[in-house]
């Protein structure tokens, strides 16, 4: 490294060397400004240090004096340097804001979020739950098993789609999703869930959550639209509707699912999980399905069918999607690949009746505008070549064994405290707490011994008369499960019963 450039007095002009382009005053100004600022930021120039006189610096580096003046002006405007009339400018004290040195804030009122933001975002039910620390094997709900996933196939399809993509000019992919993916999804849900649709009816979304958000924003007039939600029910759906300004109407769930006869006539949207109620696991009975569709038709309401894990079915009863039976274009069918494939994929979809499609695309366009074509192309190929169906088939016996072991333990070891709620699908199972007065202690014991298991109260807007415990088996193996439930039994046996 060279010695710093010295002035006519033989003293260094700056404690470091500047590297300026040979020509172009504009480029030289830019370099000078940036290198001086960098020196302030990395503290080669300390707060209070005086900058060299403009004339001296200009002479030392062969710059026009105006260039140095302009660079100093910029540093002053940015707050890195304090101007001193009739004296040499000095380096300002920097504030360690945002994790990086920056110009000092002015001594003014700091902004306040509650004054600047829409108050709805302060609603408690919109706050993100605190992250829970859980062991890798736990009763956590809604996360699938990563073992057995055909990652090699995914990688191969990714490489192929990337090669294909690299040959085509860049463009903004369509709002509604890639045609190949919409087609693959339509065929898949028609085959596995008897959903009546074609590719044109499918809008690809960023997980199921974006589908709920789009529907909420489209269907809800803030402060006016009443939306019926299962109680207990899936909190993120509640959040999407609350954020859109809906009036939330909780409707109880019993062992036939949503109590359709409790729907007030003025609800305009009904959100329901017919295959596998979230979180109780019950199936909406055929009678209730018919009643719900009749209600929607009579009252002009829209039904949102959230079929989040209905692909994993263990029972023999042949009920397909609710949408299959919809003869009035009232049902929006929402699906996700977070459970059948993996959550980091962040792909879901909504099959909407034609009269709602244009509106949903208008909302989606204002929201995130375009598709992420690479991920969608890989997913489309994965589905179209049968890998999704094969993966679901491969996982079914894995989950069935875990489910069976769970059921077994609940019905034997834990039968004094818990009563499994009949359920035929999905990646979790709930069990009603037999002793409501001891419920909070039983939940507490489960929190310790069965990490990841959740009280259905966590899914409810108001405390439930008869809470249940929901156990996920997506990331729980049979052995760990047995140990955990044995420990839970011992813990419960030690409890003084009331």
Site residues for a second copy, window 233-252 (CB under 8 A)?
Answer: 236, 239-240, 242-243, 245
Strands 269-272 and 226-231: parallel
Range in contact with a second copy (rule: CB under 8 A) among 98-106, 383-391, 447-455, 489-497 = 98-106
Site for a second copy in 183-202 (CB under 8 A): 190, 194, 196-201
- Backbone φ and ψ for 126, nearest 5 degrees, come out as -95, -5
Site for a second copy in 425-484 (CB under 8 A): 475
* Chosen residue from 154, 234, 417, 459 binding a second copy by CB under 8 A: 154
Cα(197)–Cα(188) distance, integer angstroms? 10
- The residue among 128 and 437 lying less far from a second copy, judged by its C-beta, is 128
Site for a second copy in 5-64 (CB under 8 A): 24-27, 29-30, 33-34, 37
Q: How far is the CB of 494 from a second copy (least distance, A)?
A: 32
Q: How far is the CB of 8 from a second copy (least distance, A)?
A: 27
* Chosen residue from 221, 404, 412, 497 binding a second copy by CB under 8 A: 221
Cα(414)–Cα(428) distance, integer angstroms? 17
* Range 314-318, long-range pairs (CB < 8 A, 24+ positions): 314/396, 314/399, 314/400, 314/403, 314/424, 314/425, 315/283, 315/424, 315/425, 317/283, 317/424
Q: How far is the CB of 374 from a second copy (least distance, A)?
A: 6
373-384 vs 179-193: helix crossing angle, rounded to 10: 40
Range in contact with a second copy (rule: CB under 8 A) among 205-213, 401-409, 445-453, 460-468 = 205-213
* Chosen residue from 56, 188, 193, 217 binding a second copy by CB under 8 A: 217
Please, how many CA atoms are within 13 Å of residue 2, restricted to the half-sphere of its CB?
8
* Chosen residue from 5, 53, 82, 126 binding a second copy by CB under 8 A: 126
Range in contact with a second copy (rule: CB under 8 A) among 54-62, 112-120, 272-280, 460-468 = 112-120
Site for a second copy in 253-282 (CB under 8 A): 268
Tokens representing residue 60 in the block: 């030392």
Question: Quick count: other Cβ atoms within 10 Å of Cβ 14?
Answer: 22
Range in contact with a second copy (rule: CB under 8 A) among 210-218, 412-420, 450-458, 484-492 = 210-218
Q: How far is the CB of 467 from a second copy (least distance, A)?
A: 25
Cα(157)–Cα(205) distance, integer angstroms? 21
* Chosen residue from 85, 100, 265, 462 binding a second copy by CB under 8 A: 100
Could you tell me which residues come within 8 angstroms of residue 252 by beta carbon, excluding any fewer than 6 positions away? 231, 259, 262
Residue in 110, 82, 176 with CA at minimum distance from that of residue 372: 176
C-alpha distance from residue 108 to each of 79, 104, 111, 116 (Å): 15, 11, 9, 16
What does 424-474 look like in DSSP terms, one character per residue? Answer: -BSSEEEEEES-GGGHHHHHHHHHHHSTT-EEGGGG-SS--SS-EEEEE-S
* Chosen residue from 88, 262, 370, 447 binding a second copy by CB under 8 A: 370
Contact (CB, 8 A) for 406 and 319: no
Per-residue contact string for residues 318-337; x = within reach of a second copy by CB under 8 A? x-----xx-xxxx-------
* Chosen residue from 297, 444, 480, 491 binding a second copy by CB under 8 A: 297
Range in contact with a second copy (rule: CB under 8 A) among 4-12, 304-312, 362-370, 414-422 = 362-370
Question: 80 in helix, strand or coil?
Answer: coil
Site for a second copy in 59-88 (CB under 8 A): 71, 74, 77-79
Per-residue contact string for residues 374-413; x = within reach of a second copy by CB under 8 A? xx--------------------------------------
- The residue among 180 and 243 lying less far from a second copy, judged by its C-beta, is 243
């Amino acid at each position: 490294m060279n010695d710093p450039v010295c002035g006519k007095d033989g003293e260094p002009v700056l404690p470091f060397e500047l590297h300026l382009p040979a020509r172009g005053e504009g480029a030289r100004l830019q370099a000078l400004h940036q290198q001086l600022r960098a020196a302030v930021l990395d503290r080669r120039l300390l707060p209070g240090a005086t900058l060299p006189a403009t004339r001296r610096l200009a002479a030392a580096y062969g710059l026009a004096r105006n260039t140095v003046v302009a660079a100093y002006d910029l540093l002053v405007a940015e707050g890195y340097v304090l101007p001193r009339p009739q004296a040499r400018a000095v380096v300002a004290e920097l504030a360690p804001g945002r994790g990086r040195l920056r110009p000092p804030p002015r001594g003014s009122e700091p902004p306040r979020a509650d004054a600047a933001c829409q108050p709805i975002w302060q609603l408690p039910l919109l706050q993100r739950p605190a992250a829970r620390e859980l062991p890798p094997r736990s009763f956590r709900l809604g996360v699938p098993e990563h073992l057995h996933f055909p990652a090699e196939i995914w990688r191969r399809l990714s490489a192929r789609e990337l090669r294909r993509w690299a040959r085509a000019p860049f463009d903004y992919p369509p709002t509604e999703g890639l045609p190949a993916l919409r087609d693959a999804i339509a065929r898949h849900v028609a085959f596995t869930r008897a959903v009546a649709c074609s590719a044109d009816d499918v809008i690809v979304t960023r997980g199921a959550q974006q589908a709920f958000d789009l529907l909420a924003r489209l269907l809800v007039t803030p402060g006016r639209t009443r939306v019926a939600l299962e109680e207990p029910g899936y909190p993120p759906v509640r959040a999407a509707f609350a954020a859109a300004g809906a009036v939330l109407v909780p409707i109880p769930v019993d062992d036939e699912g949503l109590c359709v006869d409790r729907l007030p006539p003025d609800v305009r949207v009904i959100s329901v999980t017919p295959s596998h109620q979230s979180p109780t696991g019950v199936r909406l009975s055929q009678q209730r399905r018919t009643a719900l569709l009749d209600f929607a038709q009579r009252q002009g309401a829209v039904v949102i069918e959230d079929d989040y894990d209905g692909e994993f079915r263990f029972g023999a009863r042949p009920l397909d999607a609710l949408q299959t039976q919809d003869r009035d274009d009232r049902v929006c069918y929402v699906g996700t690949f977070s459970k059948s494939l993996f959550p980091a994929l962040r792909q879901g979809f909504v099959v909407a009746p034609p009269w709602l499609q244009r509106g949903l695309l208008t909302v989606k366009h204002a929201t995130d505008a375009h598709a992420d074509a690479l991920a969608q192309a890989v997913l489309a190929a994965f589905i179209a070549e049968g890998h999704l169906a094969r993966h679901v088939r491969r996982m079914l016996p894995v989950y069935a064994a875990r489910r069976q072991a769970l059921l077994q333990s609940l019905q034997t070891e834990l039968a004094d405290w818990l009563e499994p709620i009949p359920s035929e699908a999905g990646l979790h199972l709930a069990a009603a707490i037999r002793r409501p007065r001891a419920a909070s202690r039983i939940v507490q014991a489960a929190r310790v011994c069965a990490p990841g298991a959740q009280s259905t109260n966590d899914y409810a807007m108001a405390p439930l008369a008869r809470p249940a415990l929901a156990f996920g088996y997506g990331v729980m193996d049979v052995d760990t499960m047995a140990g955990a439930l044995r420990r839970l039994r011992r813990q419960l046996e030690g409890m003084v019963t009331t």
